[in-house]
Amino acid sequence: MEKNTSCFFSNSSPNLVITCFVAFITIILVRFLYVIYRTGKPLNKRTPQQTLSTLIVLGSGGHTAEMINLLLVLQKDRFTPRFYIAAATDNMSLQKARVFENSLADSGVKGISAEFMQIYRSREVGQSYVTSVWTTLVATAHALWLMIKIRPQVVLCNGPGTCIPLCVIAFIFKVVGIRWSSIFYVESIARVKRLSLSGLLLYKLQIADQFFVQWPQLQRKYPRAHYV
């Protein structure tokens, strides 16, 4: 009898593991499809007084200038605290963000709350693809640590490559139920005929909740985008 019992448990254990694994994969798949379905749809109504922690991804060159223009019309008292992230080698963008936040304080905007952070780049300009494998892994791990620390309710980005790991992790957080972050992507005005690589990835993977382009021909080419 003992021999038969031990044989029963030894045979059932692998089946139990397989069953649990299949159930787990099924739950994740259902949750993934639900997130895709809900992406871009309005969330439950919030009270006007409720603030939203906002992650703002900055990029070198014109990206930061365009982002500052967007922030000028942002409801500062609602989208707070604000977390600015730029690449580790991009000190100029964070400096511009600090100047912007200081100008808000000088103008008397109440409830100013901002933090400034840097993130490792996945690949530097001119870096070989072989060595970029390691740096990409390091950058992804760093992005995960930052997202766990911030857990933003809103992610605002406009094209720098540093936004990709952050947005992907924010999407994964939705799937596993850690935090529901609304991702807003505004393509650069310099993109007239085709999307940037960052924009194309977020559009094709349906990661962004709202995707904006600034040229009508782009909206016709990518119909899920909003033309503004």
What integer is the mean pLDDT of 203-209? 92
Q: For 31-59, what is each residue's pLDDT tens digit?
A: 777 777 777 666 666 566 689 999 999 98
CA-based angle 77:210:183, to the nearest 5?
60
Q: What is the pLDDT of residue 8?
A: 45
Region 168-195: mean pLDDT is: 92
Listed in sequence order, the residues at least 6 apart from 157 whose beta carbon sits closer than 8 Å to its beta carbon are 56, 57, 163, 166, 167, 183, 184, 185, 186, 198
Write down all domains in the chain, each with its CATH number in brackets.
50-227 (3.40.50.2000)
- Residue 143 above 80 pLDDT? yes
Q: What is the mean pLDDT of the chain?
A: 85
Q: Which of 197, 43, 214 has the alpha carbon at shortest distance from 226?
A: 214
Q: Is residue 96 within 8 Å of residue 128, measured between CB atoms?
A: no
Instruction: Tell me the whole-structure pTM to 2 decimals.
Output: 0.82
Instruction: Report the 10 Å Cβ neighbour count for 207.
Output: 22
Better-predicted residue by pLDDT, 3 or 36: 36
